[in-house]
Amino acid sequence: MRVAVVLALASAVVYGASDFLGGLASRRTSVFGVVALSQLAGLVALVALLPWLGGPATAADLWTGAAAGLAGAAGLLIFFRALARGVMSVVAPVTAVTAAAVPVLVGTLGGERIGPWATAGIVLALAAVVLVSAEGGLAALRGARPASLTPALVAGAAFGLFFVLLDRTSQDAGLTPLVAARLASVTLVAAVALTSGQSLRPNRAALPLVLVSGIGDMTANALFLLATQTGGQLAITGVLASLYPVSTVVLAQVVLRERLVPAQLAGLVSAGAAVVLITLPG
């Protein structure tokens, strides 16, 4: 279980760093270009690793992986549209906490037994996700309109479903289901971009950021999948992986010198306390 916790936390760190780099790239070029090319870069990196980390996947593993990829890509597209039309300080935390809550709900309904310390840690982690993502402070969340919450909830549910579906693949399959996931997600993003007339060609200035972001995102996917395959409970691995906004916020503070609001500082402290509680025995 400890190994699964470490892997899930590592996936959160890498997810957050990848999102940070992807966000920087999106400031310089087409968002669809960033998403499509980064996912292709991750796919190439994954195929290169399959001889060592792949496994004999069944048809069910591949279909489940493809469904996970479609859920993740759909969540990403809805999330970007929600950010473009809504208030970022509302959309981001609502999406993040929903993505964290879905695996917890599915895991507990599926009969996973979680100790009192881990339960307290999960609750604190959910609060931490909201706080860390609240760039505009809690006042922005209190003033949110229901219409702005719906797409954020849908995007978060799609991200959470991505975690749930990956957890359903067999242990023997290794990282092979991620190939189906990435092929499906790339196809969906490219189809939406082409039908809506969006550019898929990022400029050269953003290219290094896009490539590193894509490889990082795939690495994070692999770490999460390995966490589930090493005996990690979905309710715990899912909520730990969903702490990715922590590393994004920390990188923004260190690299871009962005100031943290009090709610975000409280979220960072809560995230640390949540991890400690989850790792306690019993």
pLDDT of residue 144: 57
Inter-axis angle of helices 59-85 and 176-195, to 10 degrees?
40
Average pLDDT estimate for 110-129 = 91
pLDDT in tens, 160-195: 999 999 999 999 999 999 999 999 999 999 999 889
pLDDT > 90: percent of the chain:
55
In whole angstroms, give the CA distance from residue 275 to residue 240: 8
Give the residue among 272, 271, 279 at the shortest CA–CA distance from 125: 271
Higher pLDDT, 53 or 82: 53
pLDDT of residue 168: 95
Q: Taking phi first (over 0 means left), then psi (-120 to 50 degrees means alpha), and beta for anything else, what does residue 54 get?
A: beta
The token pair that represents 165 in the structure block: 């579906």
Residue pair 23/180 in contact by the 8 Å Cβ criterion: no
Lowest mean pLDDT among 74-78, 103-107, 140-144: 140-144
DSSP 8-state symbol, 256: S
pLDDT of residue 238: 93
pLDDT of residue 89: 63
pLDDT of residue 259: 83
Q: Taking phi first (over 0 means left), then psi (-120 to 50 degrees means alpha), and beta for anything else, what does residue 174 get?
A: left
Please, what is the average pLDDT of the chain? 88
pLDDT of residue 260: 83
Identify the band that residue 248 occupies on the pLDDT scale cut at 50, 70 and 90: confident
> Exposed, middle or buried, 116 (CB in 10 Å: 0-12/13-18/19+)?
exposed
Model's pTM, two decimal places? 0.91
Q: Taking phi first (over 0 means left), then psi (-120 to 50 degrees means alpha), and beta for anything else, what does residue 55 get?
A: beta
pLDDT in tens, 29-77: 888 888 889 999 999 999 998 998 999 999 999 999 999 999 999 988 8
